[in-house]
Amino acid sequence: MKLKDPDKIHIIYTATLKLVKNNGLSALNMAAIGKETKLGMGTMYGYFKSKEELINSLFKRLKGLNTNRIYSVIKPNAPFKLSMKDLFDNYIKNRVDYFEEHFFVEQCSNSHFLDSESKKLDDAAFVGVFELLDKGKKELLVKNIDNTIITAHMMGSANELVTMCMKHNIKINKAFLNQAFSLCWDSIKR
């Protein structure tokens, strides 16, 4: 079996991200990726047997990288509110710094393309924030509301904030992050 060239995989992934950002996941096809990469279709299918295989491969890679980056700021013994603030800020910064990656992951999460392994990885990404929210509830700092609702509320706010900032070229600074977190905190605190 011939080893796959990591540079070609990177080229294919980069083209896929660009095409999904510009045209959406549903418009993605192997021919467009081949054209963007200037790789022949035989080469493309030598690396990925189908669009679905490519999507799942890239999704798994990005979901793992993004999840690790986002949770990297959590310190096990830090006070709850500080941990939540660090996580919120880091989530927004990562959404901005890796916008194409997050856009792709979000498109995939809401699609029929994901295989069962990718879906499990997607679900597992929420374990850390759910555990953090459980800690806040035990300390009587967070409303006793289902973690899914709280997380969706905070992520929805953060995602829309990033989208608006990117659309209007607004720079996100510390004061901006503090105001955004303050609104979210006021909505979940007891």
pLDDT digits (tens, 9 = 90+) for 20-32: 999 999 999 999 9
pLDDT of residue 2: 62
Supply 180's token pair: 């955004």
Using a pLDDT cut of 90, give the percent of the chain over it: 94
Q: What is the mean pLDDT of the chain?
A: 94
pLDDT band per the 50, 70, 90 thresholds, residue 76: confident
3-state secondary structure (DSSP) of residue 131: helix
- Say what the pTM is: 0.89
Instruction: Say whether pLDDT at 1 is over 60.
Output: no
Phi, psi dihedral angles at 142 (to 5 degrees): -120, 145
The DSSP element (H or E) to which 83 belongs, if any, is helix 80-97
Quickly count: other Cβ atoms within 10 Å of residue 107's Cβ: 18
Supply 178's token pair: 């503090």
94, 69 in Cβ contact below 8 A?
yes
Tens of pLDDT along 79-107?
999 999 999 999 999 999 999 999 999 99
pLDDT band per the 50, 70, 90 thresholds, residue 6: confident
52, 115 in Cβ contact below 8 A?
yes
51, 83 in Cβ contact below 8 A?
no
Helical packing angle, 127-138 and 147-167, nearest 10°? 120
Instruction: Say whether pLDDT at 127 is over 90.
Output: yes
pLDDT band per the 50, 70, 90 thresholds, residue 5: confident
Instruction: Say whether pLDDT at 65 is over 60.
Output: yes
Q: Which whole number is the average pLDDT over 157-163?
A: 94
Quickly count: other Cβ atoms within 10 Å of residue 177's Cβ: 18
Structural domains in the chain plus CATH codes: 1-49 (1.10.10.60), 56-188 (1.10.357.10)
Instruction: Say whether pLDDT at 38 is over 90.
Output: yes
